[in-house]
């Protein structure tokens, strides 16, 4: 009888412990995650889009730029437009591991999105363009992208009657030229701004805009995951360059930095996470297919070498933290931009 009572008491005690544990888990699941206002403010969207004084916004100029952006006649073969690689249907990229232009030869790097490019001060993966106006000329003239010398592009545009009206509305009294063509393209690209996402509504004070799981993921993003060390601001980028330890031999920013600036070898611009595609591919070379693969790379800390960014430190996330982090990343996806493809002149 005594042994039976002892066994009963032990079983009862075990049930109490288990009940307490399950209650703790339930409380954790229902617990409201509190995040400081100061941290939220770091991710608040700006009230307006910046345009440079040298190329201010003008609706007619943006409309001209839109026509040019979608016009394949700006390429040598007449088959590739800016929108071929920066496709609205693929969040203004192309969904490919590496871009493909007029020659069909895969480019060395993945096509970045042009969304929110108005805020960029260094463009291209290696930062070799200092403005959207400068950047626009690079894919136009690159042999394996659009392959069109700028003077030949101007002559072709002058031969299309419909463009005369569009240029006159945008640049009264000016002939069609290289400078105003690049200015129009840049103006249109600056109008491509991500729509507000659930995360933005949460930042503005709507606690119901995202789940508690996503809120925990935001904490992981800023703490255990260390993601905010590079993916900061409302666009989730520090606009800087880092070697994150990929196996690629591409030296990136190092091509334009002095040889003794070792930290820039293999360094690439931090991509924005706004409207992050969950179908991949990822990284400058398109080498990773899934978000899980990307997270695992950061957990491992990347390939050790002298140029490895000091921000790259191996981390360890629990399965719950990984799940929460992914739930959070989904909240920074806004509705796709609605874009009517223009009828070309």
- Cis before 281 (ω within 30): yes
**CA-CA distance, 19 to 27, in Å (whole number)?**
12
Digit-by-digit pLDDT tens for the chain (345 residues) are: 444 443 444 444 444 333 444 333 333 445 678 899 999 999 999 999 999 999 999 999 999 999 999 999 999 999 999 999 999 999 999 999 999 999 999 999 999 999 999 999 999 999 999 999 999 999 999 999 999 999 999 999 999 999 999 999 999 999 999 999 999 999 999 999 999 999 999 999 999 999 999 999 999 999 999 999 999 999 999 999 999 999 999 999 999 999 999 999 999 999 999 999 888 999 999 999 999 999 999 999 999 999 999 999 999 999 999 999 999 999 999 999 988 999 999
Distance (Å) of CA 311 to CA 163, 245, 261, 302, 315: 49, 11, 17, 11, 11
Residue 217, Cβ density class (10 Å: 0-12 exposed, 13-18 middle, ≥19 buried): buried
Residue ranges, comma separated, of all CATH 1.10.760.10 domains in the chain are: 37-46+196-330, 59-190
pTM of the model: 0.89
pLDDT given for residue 182 in this prediction: 98
pLDDT given for residue 338 in this prediction: 87
**CA-CA distance, 23 to 27, in Å (whole number)?**
6
Per CATH, which fold does 37-46+196-330 belong to? Answer: Cytochrome Bc1 Complex; Chain D, domain 2 (1.10.760)
pLDDT given for residue 5 in this prediction: 42
Neighbouring-strand partners of residue 269: 241
**CA-CA distance, 337 to 297, in Å (whole number)?**
31
Task: Give one word for 110, left, alpha or beta, with left for phi > 0 and alpha for psi -120 to 50.
Answer: beta
pLDDT given for residue 20 in this prediction: 40
Backbone angles phi, psi at 260, to 5 degrees: -80, -5
Hey, what CATH class is 59-190 in?
Answer: mainly alpha
Three-state SS for 84?
helix
pLDDT given for residue 32 in this prediction: 75
Which residues, including other chains, have CB under 8 Å from residue 289's CB and lie 6 or more apart?
280, 281, 282
């Amino acid at each position: 009888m005594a042994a039976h009572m002892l066994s009963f008491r032990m079983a009862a005690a075990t049930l109490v412990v288990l009940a307490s544990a399950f209650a703790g888990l339930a409380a954790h699941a229902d617990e409201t995650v509190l995040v400081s206002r100061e941290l939220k403010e770091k991710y608040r969207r700006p009230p307006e889009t910046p345009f440079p004084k040298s190329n201010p916004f003008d609706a007619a100029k943006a409309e001209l730029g839109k026509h040019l952006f979608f016009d394949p006649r700006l390429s040598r073969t007449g088959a590739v437009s800016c929108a071929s690689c920066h496709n609205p249907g693929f969040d203004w990229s192309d969904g490919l591991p590496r871009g493909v232009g007029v020659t069909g030869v895969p480019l060395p790097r993945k096509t970045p999105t042009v969304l929110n490019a108005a805020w960029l001060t260094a463009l291209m993966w290696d930062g070799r363009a200092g403005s959207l106006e400068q950047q626009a000329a690079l894919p136009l003239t690159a042999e394996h992208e659009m392959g069109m010398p700028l003077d030949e592009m101007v002559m072709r545009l002058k031969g299309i009657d419909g463009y005369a009206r569009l240029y006159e509305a945008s640049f009264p009294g000016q002939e069609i030229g290289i400078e105003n063509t690049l200015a129009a393209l840049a103006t249109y690209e600056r109008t491509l701004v991500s729509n507000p996402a659930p995360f933005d509504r949460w930042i503005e004070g709507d606690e119901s805009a995202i789940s508690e799981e996503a809120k925990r993921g935001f904490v992981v993003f800023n703490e255990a995951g260390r993601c905010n060390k590079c993916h900061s601001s409302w666009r989730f980028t520090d606009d800087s360059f880092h070697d994150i330890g990929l196996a690629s031999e591409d030296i990136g920013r190092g091509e334009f930095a002095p040889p003794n600036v070792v930290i820039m070898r293999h360094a690439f611009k931090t991509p924005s996470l706004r409207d992050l595609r969950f179908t991949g591919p990822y990284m400058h070379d398109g080498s990773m297919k899934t978000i899980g693969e990307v997270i695992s790379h950061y957990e491992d800390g990347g390939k050790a070498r002298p140029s490895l960014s000091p921000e790259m430190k191996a981390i360890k996330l629990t399965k719950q933290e990984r799940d929460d982090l992914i739930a959070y990343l989904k909240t920074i996806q806004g509705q796709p931009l609605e874009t009517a493809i223009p009828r070309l002149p």
